Every structure is written in C-alpha cells, then in structure tokens.
Amino acid sequence: MIHEEVPSALDGERVDRIVALLLDISRSTAASLISAGAVTVDGTVERSGKIRLSAGQSVSADPDMLEVEQPPAGEIDVDVVVIYEDDDIIVVDKAAGQVVHPGAGNRSGTLVNGLLARYPEIHAVGEQHRPGIVHRLDAGSTGLLVVARSQRAYEALVPQFADHSATRQYAALVWGVPDAPHGVIDAPIGRSRRDPLKMAVVADGRDARTEYVVVGEYRAPAACSLLRCSLETGRTHQIRVHLASINHPLIGDPWYGQRRPTLGLQRPFLHAAHLEFDHPATGQRVEFTSDLADDLSAMLATLEIAPNG
C-alpha cells in the first residue's frame, strides 16, 4: 500500500489523475484501480475517479490490485552498446531516445528488452518489470548506465545510488554563461504548481543539490556554455530543472528550455559521461567514461569558442 499526502501542486486535481501520477500508471489504469476499491481518501474507500481533492488530503492506493502484467521479453533487434561486463554488472552506453525499461506507452523496444535477449539471467534480478535496473536516464539523455547481472550485485548497487556514494557526472550545454564558473545549486524539487506533469523548484519539494563547473564557453551562433554537472541527489529531471531555475536551461530541452531555439538539436544536450561506484563483488572502486554522443559532438563542433573559453 502506498500512502501520500496531496501536494500543493495537485490541489484541485481529480483522484484518477493523482493516483496515475503517484503510481506512474495510465489514467485509465488508475480509474480501474479506483473502481476496484483499491484507493482510499482520508481513510475512506473512494470508487469515483472524478472527485477533486485538496492539498493536504491523504490518498492511499494498493498497486498489488493492478492486473499482473507479463514480464518483459528479450528482443534481439534492440541495439545495446555494452562497454563492460562481468558476472555481476553490465555497463551500457545508452542511445538517445531509448527508454530504459517498459512502462505505460512503452511495452517493448526498451533497453531492458535488448538486455534480456543477450543476458536472459537478469530476468530474476531486482524488480520483475525492470529487471537489473538500479538507476535510470531520461529517454532523451545518452551515456552511462550500470545494470545488475546478479541479485547480489543488485542488492549492493541499489544502496549506493540511494545514498549517492555512486557518483555520476554529466556534460550539459546551456544557454548563456553562469556568473560563477563553479557553483552548487541547492534548491528543493517537486511537482510544478503550473503543470503537475513537470517538476520545478518549489518550497515544499525534496532536497536537491547539483554541482556544476563551466568547462567551455561559446559565442556563436549564440552565447552558451558547456558544464560538467555532478549530482549530490537524484531527483526526477534534477539537472534540467536546476539549470532552468538559474536561467541557464539546457539547449534542446523541449520541457524546461523556456521556449528558446534548439540550435538544431532534437533532444536536450545532456550526456552521462562519467560513472563511479564500488564493485559489488570486489568492493573496489571502479569508474567508466563515455565520449559525447555523435549528435552532441557534431553540434558542439559548429559553435565558435569564446575568446576566454
């Protein structure tokens, strides 16, 4: 059973939409769950998805009452770029546009489907609907992702990403140049009050910290800068939201880009370039790096470096 208090960002929203957001399921599935009596509001079973709730009300939902879905199947035609593997881990360089695991609207063609075709043993590792997955990247992002190949690896890696002892660095191209060449954005993130489907910096959000360093400056065709970003927390869309909050949104970001030009990019300029963690079998610190994806590298080559860049 999942228990949540309705956040201010969802004040006035219908029960079915709130349940869909809380459980990351479709609205129709949420409606079915409500009809089945699996949702309570302030302790009372609610069978209508149409009523609207107020901030502060308590919502509980039992996801176990959802129809059990078939586990994902292996698909050999899904491209998977593996840069390292052993008996416990698989390190992948994820492609742009590739969804990490099956979910609403993406039942096949995901990274997990491709991995299962090559490493069928991971079907028993971790959660059934996303076997082996211990952390994620947005579909539009590229770069490094570690997957657990054994259950012992899964149990060792999950806490490292939860307590952030596993570290990740990203390359991000943003509009403009931050005033400080090195800084930390410390601002809580939660659901946007204007659009609950988006995240935003909000006073009652969850703690979030992003460190950045300016590593390159460009002046044409527009003033922009290349940053190296490190996550001290791991909130949804954290880098994208934090950089937009200081008025330096990612170039190419359709959601948080503040309606600025994309300079020809078809996705946000965000690449997971460095990954470091303790190996689950040996305990030794291991690290992996990934060069910029081809589309990002090609776009960067078109920019004119600023005199001090």
Residues serving a catalytic function are: 138
User: Measured between alpha carbons, how far is 126 from 158 in angstroms, rounded to an integer?
Assistant: 10
User: Measured between alpha carbons, how far is 131 from 124 in angstroms, rounded to an integer?
Assistant: 7
Angle, vertex CA 54, rays to CA 53 and CA 57, nearest 5: 85
Strands across the sheet with 2-5, in order? Answer: 2-5, 58-61, 39-41, 44-45
| 3-state DSSP assignment of residue 53 | coil
Angle, vertex CA 63, rays to CA 58 and CA 64, nearest 5: 135
> Is 173 in contact with 192 (CB distance < 8 Å)?
no
User: Measured between alpha carbons, how far is 219 from 228 in angstroms, rounded to an integer?
Assistant: 18
| 201 DSSP assignment | E
* CB-based contacts of 37, cutoff 8 Å, min separation 6: 45, 47
Q: Which residue has the tokens 């302030």?
A: 42
Q: How many CB atoms lie within 10 A of CB 5?
A: 11
> Is 22 in contact with 59 (CB distance < 8 Å)?
yes
What are the start-end ranges of the H helices in the chain? Answer: 15-23, 27-35, 111-118, 151-162, 238-245, 294-301
| 3-state DSSP assignment of residue 75 | coil
